[in-house]
Amino acid sequence: MSTTNVAVDLALRMEAVRKVYRVGDSEIVALDHADLTVAPGEIVALVGPSGSGKTTLCSIAGGILSATSGRVVVGGTDISDFSSKELTAFRQSTVGFVFQSVNLVPFLTARENLLVVDELGRRTGSAARKRADAILGELGIADRANNLPSQLSGGQRQRVAIGRALMNEPRLVLFDEPTSALDTKLGEQVMTVIRNEMKNRGIAAIVVTHDERNTRYCDRTVHIVDGRLEGTSSH
């Protein structure tokens, strides 16, 4: 993998990024010349209607999708021309994901759901276990380390998902509708956890949300419509 000396002070830089899908003789533009920067420790809310390009943007920033054109630099590493194999290694070492559906492994305990990340990462054995337990403690669920997901509340499952995203010490964490399955009180608790964890660790985050109430936990809000970033507002 190669690194760039440009924008190493940024967690994310996207320059004129486009994603185009071909359907027969037609082109569908999912992301249209997107420019976005996110600093370390900065939390950006990404707001837009369904089909606006939010998931596409995050998938490209996280190395799940490759851009059709443009430049993507994450933590000083230019991933614009990475192969599928390089992107896989990049995701394991640099980016964390928290999905809307949480996606915990149902037959693994809370601790094991964190440890499965580091089986592919830099730690093994007692070092990985020590980090997992420390993260669960910081998230306030140390006493749930041996519980299966089915034995956890919705808010606790979301905290485990956040912990799993932090295991590889990422430069950037991408949250996809992290409170959509929670009631208002639990949603506020989860957003508070997200803000505190990102700020305390100096990790950048993009929070995809339909809920404008979540934007107050973020440093700024970026709106996206029809694949175009249309404006930003600070909080």
Sequence-separated (6 or more) residues with CB below 8 Å from residue 231: 222, 223
pLDDT digits (tens, 9 = 90+) for 123-147: 567 888 999 999 999 999 999 999 9
For 39-118, strand residue ranges (E) read: 43-47, 69-74, 77-78, 95-98
**pLDDT band, very low/low/confident/very high, at 3 (cuts 50, 70, 90):** very low
CB 179 within 8 A of CB 191: yes
pLDDT digits (tens, 9 = 90+) for 30-86: 999 999 999 999 999 999 988 899 999 999 999 999 999 999 999 999 999 999 999
Q: Answer yes or no: is pLDDT of 6 > 60.
A: no
Q: Answer yes or no: is pLDDT of 235 > 70.
A: no
Assigned fold of 39-66+81-234: Rossmann fold (3.40.50)
What does the domain layout of the chain look like in residue ranges? 39-66+81-234
Nearest to 161 by CA among 42, 181, 185, 25: 181
DSSP class of 216? G
**pLDDT band, very low/low/confident/very high, at 151 (cuts 50, 70, 90):** very high
Compute the mean pLDDT over every residue in the chain, rounded to the nearest whole number: 89
Give 94-105 as a DSSP string: HEEEE-TT----
CA distances to 75, 111, 131, 210 from 137, rounded to whole Å, are: 27, 11, 10, 30
